[in-house]
Structure 1
Amino acid sequence: MTVGLRLGEAVWGLLQHALDLYRDNRRATGHLRHQLARLEQPLRVAIAGPWRSGKSTMLNAVMGEEVAPVGDADGTGVFTWYEDAARPHAIAYSTTHPPQELAMTKSATGMRVDLVGWRAGELRDIVVRWPTRALRQLTLIDTPAITGIDEHGRAPVMDRALRDADAVLYLTRDGRGTDLRVLESSRESAVGQAAPVTAILVLARADETGGGRIDALLTARQLARRQYRDPRVNALCLDTVACSGLIGLAGRVLSESDFATLAQLARVSREALEPHLLSADRFAVGELPVRLDAEVRAGLLDRLGLFGIKLATTLVRTGCDDRAKLSAELIRRSGLTELRESVNRLLLDRRDALKARSALAAVEALLRAEPEPGSGELLAMLEQILAGAHEFRELRLLAALRNTRLGFDTELAAEARRLVGGDGIGLAPRLGIPHDVTVQQLWEAASDAQWRWRKRAEDTTLRLAQRRGAQVVVRSCEGMLAELAEGGR
């Protein structure tokens, strides 16, 4: 929408003013030029969470290839960046040495990078460049584990993730307690108050929900829906998704030999196979009803886990009779499809606004940490940009619409969500009509929506929160009409 262009231009202008203000400060000007460059780069999405939350597995599932973790990076405080490139290579950045290219070993499903010769604490970042379509629009950042919060309620790893990334996939088991306090730390600045934290909460390792029963993934989805309605979660996250990275990745890299082994196991009745799937040790070393050597058993456990083997054999028995069908069904059941749709709709579709938000946060932090004569004027300019940024109002309304306390009924809430871009930011998705309609039909649909929502915005019998929400929808309709008047589709 045209509003997005104005936001981008305003942020670019603020950065130029800040460069002029700090022209004698080499460190500050370097930081500001870095923010300018980020505006033209792919969206940065950090994958964060506590120890053993499945970050690297989830990153691999999103990419569809086994490229993480790099060595023992997760346990050393290193941020590992995954970027698109024409050829695979990796570069290590340390606090004491110049950048150094790392040797890479390719495997059948991806690659491995070993950190031989590097001592703990030497490395700060590893940049892995890998040719894949999944990285053409975004850069993924595998962060170190969040091990807790300090006396001020902050987690240093999360602080850096929020500075370096434009959005966060926060992985958690239950989305309570410490996890929410970690996300709350991002709301302390003016930018954090104006634009909600750009996080998607992921109930990870969903296959382990309820002790890993066969209905674990369904139970995890129900828990995610319950979290979706939690007002505290609403204020911090754009969406809540249940996803098993392990099952999703297994579906994406499933080989013909894996399928053949699973089909062999599926020919055994469920009653006969079930006792051998009570523990990993029983499956790995016990006497199975079919002949599988130790290496094959270990490979299945590594790629699918016990739950995945149970699920896959059940699916083969009930109709997934070739590799492609089984792969598709594992991906669907894992929740990976919903997660990728959420990333596309709420993050990639809004990449320009999210990158503008990152730049505004960086400028605000610099102005407050290193004030100069004229900083006050730039802070006032920044606050003016925040006040006029309709994209941020849309994000706040999207979060509020998940909470029934706003007062909209189900049908109205769904329409408001669609009109402010919750189902996609193009004109047709916002208006809920086919992409191949005429400009006149788009105009009529937008005009009708504007008229109906303006009546709600001006209805004094409605609660103030509802009228303000309706005003945001009206402004979105006005933006669509302005875009159509300029000839956009």
Structure 2
Amino acid sequence: MNGAEPPGAGLIEETAALFQTAKEVFRNDPAATAILSELEARLSGPLRIAVAGMVKAGKSTLLNAIIGEEIAPTDAGECTRIVTWYRFGTTPRVTLIPKLGDPRALPVTREDGRLVFSLGGSEPEDVERLVVDWPAPGLQELTLIDTPGIASLSQDVSGRSTAFLLPENAPSAADAVIYLMRHLHASDVNFLESFKDKAAGGSGTVNALAVLSRADEIGAGRIDSLISAAVIADRYSRDENLKPLALGVVPVAGLLAQSARTMRQAEYRAMGLLAGMERPERERTLLSADRFVRAVEPAGIDPESRASLVNRFGLFGIRLGVALIRGGLDDPTALAHELARRSGLGQLLQTISALFQTRADALKARAAVVGLEALLQNAGHHAATPLATAMERLQSGAHEFRELKLLAQLRTGGVVLGPELATEAERLVGGRGTAPAMRLGLPPDPSGEAINEAARAGLDRWRIIAENPLTDPSSLDACRVVIRSCEGMLAAIPASR
């Protein structure tokens, strides 16, 4: 779990038991039973993360980078106008699920290493979603959902993303959202504001992460572009409009991340030839994309290969790759790994793991409970009252839910604590990551003794705060949640106590 698990049954087991009770209550209602089965399936399945953003934000490109294969179409074809699920499967398969009629399989074809979709005569507006099963290791613990661009010129296309991410009277099909933006725009804030929900005592704040995509463009393709992008991302993360809506902002050069994960031997060879040029001539050649494509030196890179290199890596990626080769990276695998790291992908994957994957049980259970809550509100079933009581007991008693609620309150100014205490409380309840080291502000892989000492110090400090008569009464519940989180970390290391 997350290092602060309450004693007794785990949250997933408790939520599953609640759903068994719900199935008994609604056993004579086929429609409700179907909804309950679908919600219950979320508890045992992988965490679902949707990738959203404005048109041309680089959603499909980043999705390919996370998966490690080019299976999401990145052109402006008809399939980019459809919500597409990418999940793990031992056999490649593409399934079209229409709004009316039965699902049907689509042919699985690849061109130049990329997966190519064909709707087989169906119109995009008649398709509810596509489901791609693919044997990619990156999909074993995550189901990724690509959504059409928000604020598209086509209201119908934009509406598909909004309807999927913000359904009426139902929970979102995604447990968390990665929201891409090229810069902080009012449209981005407006969407994230609407993504916030008040159900299950929580807010979209606890399951939304912003990504400053195409970060290399911020520095005009210079090798230090990601440094400039990191400064801007940090400023955005502290922006008073964005901070209540997302857990953080991560800069990523999506195109470089995708291409580094799928780098080809011929591309490494071309960068090696560029690295061997004299510096003045190389800098002139790489001054612009047009100049590079039209150049005749170095010999051995034909115009088609030059154009492909620009399309896949951009000038930023080419310049960085050449600089790394000149710096001594003479192995294609090592170069690909270093390019991926410097693209910001590594930081993004670590952030996704720290904020979402380590909290997967809580996020999945929260989404399932939101769905059950909506079903109860619409059902009006006389036998549902005890079920509603049990659900309320779970929501208020499960520590994971209480942490999510407090985290949302801390980021939206709903708790009366000073800035320093609010920052510490956010960290202790898992706002920076749920591993004990992240909660306690310790270096990676701390010893049990270090965790014990830091957790006990935090526990003592927050007990004193809770007992202080000057502490605002409205903050006492927050103090209790923080204290319980510290106790959970201590309970997880009994040998060190």
TM-score by structure 2 length? 0.85
Secondary structure of the 2:365 match is helix
Amino acid at match of 2:218: T
Report the Cα offset of residue 118 of structure 1. Answer: 2.7
User: Please, which of 122, 146, 165 is the counterpart of residue 150 of structure 2?
Assistant: 146
Distance 1:443 1:380 in 2: 37
Matched, 1:66 2:75: no
Bigger mean CA deviation after superposition, 353-362 or 67-76: 67-76
Distance 1:126 1:362 in 2: 23
Contact 2:216 2:225 in 1 (8 A): yes
- Among 2, 6, 9, the residue aligned to 1:3: 6
Q: Which amino acid aligns with 2:88?
A: D
Structure 2, unpaired ranges of 5+: 167-171
Moved more, 380-389 or 349-358: 380-389
Instruction: Tell me whether 1:126 sits opposite 2:125 in the alignment.
Output: no
Matched residue type, 1:190: A
- Could you tell me how far 1:456 is from its partner in structure 2? 2.5
Distance 1:197 1:168 in 2: 10
**Deviations 1:107-148, CA, capped at 9 Å, x for gaps:** 675533333433332322211111121111111111111126
Q: Which residue of 2 aligns with 1:190?
A: 199
Distance in 2, matches of 1:476 and 1:194, equals 20
1-side partners of 2:251 and 2:144: how far apart?
Answer: 19
| Contact 2:68–2:136 under 8 Å retained in 1 | no
Q: Quote the Cα distance in structure 2 between the aligned partners of 1:304 and 1:385.
A: 49
Q: Could you tell me the TM-score, scaled by structure 1's length?
A: 0.86
Matches within 5 A, 1:133-172: 133-147=137-151, 156-161=160-165, 163-172=172-181
Match of 1:101 in 2: 105
Equivalent in the alignment of 1:54: 58
Change (3 A) 1:30 1:135: same
- Which residue of structure 2 aligns with residue 309 of structure 1? 318
Letter in 2 for 1:316: I
Q: How many angstroms does 1:173 deviate by?
A: 1.2
Q: Is the 8 A contact 1:70 1:80 kept in 2?
A: no
Cα deviation, 1:177-232, whole Å, max 9, x if unaligned, reads: 11121122233443364674511101111111143344322111111101111233
Report the counterpart of residue 481 of structure 2 in structure 1.
Answer: 472
| Deviation by residue 1:290-349 (Cα, 9 ceiling, x = unmatched) | 442122112201210122222222332333333233223211221101100011111110
**For residues 400 and 384 of structure 1, what CA distance do their matches in structure 2 show?**
20
**2:307 maps to 1:298:** yes
Q: Quote how far apart the aligned CAs of 1:464 are.
A: 6.5
Structure 1 residues 279 and 266: alpha-carbon distance in aligned structure 2, compared to 1, 3 A threshold: same
What amino acid maps onto 1:146 in structure 2? Answer: I
Q: 2:31 aligns with which of 22, 27, 31?
A: 27
Provide the residue aligned with 1:233 in structure 2: 242
Match of 2:468 among 456, 459, 464: 459
Matched, 1:256 2:260: no
Alpha-carbon distance in structure 2 between the residues aligned to 1:64 and 1:141: 15
| Equivalent residues of 1:212, 1:307 under 8 A apart | yes
Residue identity in the other structure for 1:479 = G
1:82 to 86, 95, 102: 86
Conserved? CA contact 2:61–2:72, under 8 Å:
yes
Which residue identity lines up with residue 308 of structure 2 in the other structure? G
Q: Is the 2:396–2:402 Cα contact (8 Å) retained in structure 1?
A: no
Q: Is the 8 A contact 1:92 1:125 kept in 2?
A: yes
Specify the code of the residue in structure 2 equivalent to 1:167.
Answer: A
Choose which of 183, 199, 210 in structure 1 pairs with 2:208. 199
1:269-293 per-position Cα deviation (integer Å, ceiling 9, x unaligned): 3432334434433322344454421
* Native 8 Å contact 1:71 1:112 kept in 2: no
Could you report, residue by residue, the CA deviation over 1:351-404 in whole angstroms, capped at 9, with x for unpaired residues? 000001111221223333444435566555444433334324434555677799
Indicate if the aligned counterparts of 2:78 and 2:124 stay in contact, CA closer than 8 A: no
Further displaced range: 26-35 or 63-72? 63-72
SS of the aligned residue for 1:69 comes to coil
Equivalent residue pairs, number: 483
CA shift, 1:60, in A, is: 0.6
Provide the residue aligned with 1:283 in structure 2: 292
Shift of 1:444: 5.6
Aligned identity (percent) is 40
Alpha carbon RMSD of aligned pairs, Å? 3.5
Whichever residue aligns with residue 260 of structure 1, its letter is: R
Q: Residue 423 of structure 1: CA displacement?
A: 5.7
Structure 1 window deviating more from structure 2 (25-34 vs 332-341): it is: 25-34
Structural mapping, 1:387-466, within 5 Å: 387-395=396-404, 397-398=406-407, 407-409=418-420, 416=425, 418-422=427-431, 424-427=433-436, 430=439, 432=442, 437=447, 446-461=455-470
Aligned pair in 2 of structure 1 residues 426, 233: CA closer, same or farther (>3 Å)? same
Separation in 1, partners of 2:336, 2:444: 31
Q: 1:327 to 1:413 in 2, by over 3 A?
A: farther
Q: Which structure 1 segments of 5+ residues have no match? A: none
Q: Residue type of the partner of 2:301?
A: L
Q: Give, in angstroms, the shift of residue 54 of structure 1.
A: 0.6
Distance 1:174 1:276 in 2: 29
Give distance in 2, aligned partners of 1:37 and 1:419: 31
Name which of 37, 42, 47 aligns with 1:38: 42
The equivalent of 2:182 in structure 1 is: 173
- Residues in 2 aligned to 1:458 and 1:74: alpha-carbon distance in whole angstroms: 61
Seen in structure 2, the aligned counterparts of structure 1 residues 372 and 189 have a Cα distance that, compared at 3 Å, is farther
Supply the distance in 2 between the matched residues of 1:206 and 1:479 (Cα, whole angstroms).
Answer: 39
* Alpha carbons of structure 1 residues 427 and 227: separation in structure 2 relative to 1, 3 Å: closer
Q: Separation in 1 of the partners of 2:293 and 2:153? A: 39
* Contact 1:246 1:303 (C-alpha < 8 Å) held by counterparts: yes
- 1-side partners of 2:409 and 2:278: how far apart? 49
How far residue 443 of structure 1 moved from its aligned partner, in angstroms, is 5.2
**Separation in 2, partners of 1:33, 1:488:** 42
Shift of 1:442: 5.7
Q: Do the aligned partners of 1:81 and 1:128 also contact (CA within 8 Å) in 2?
A: yes
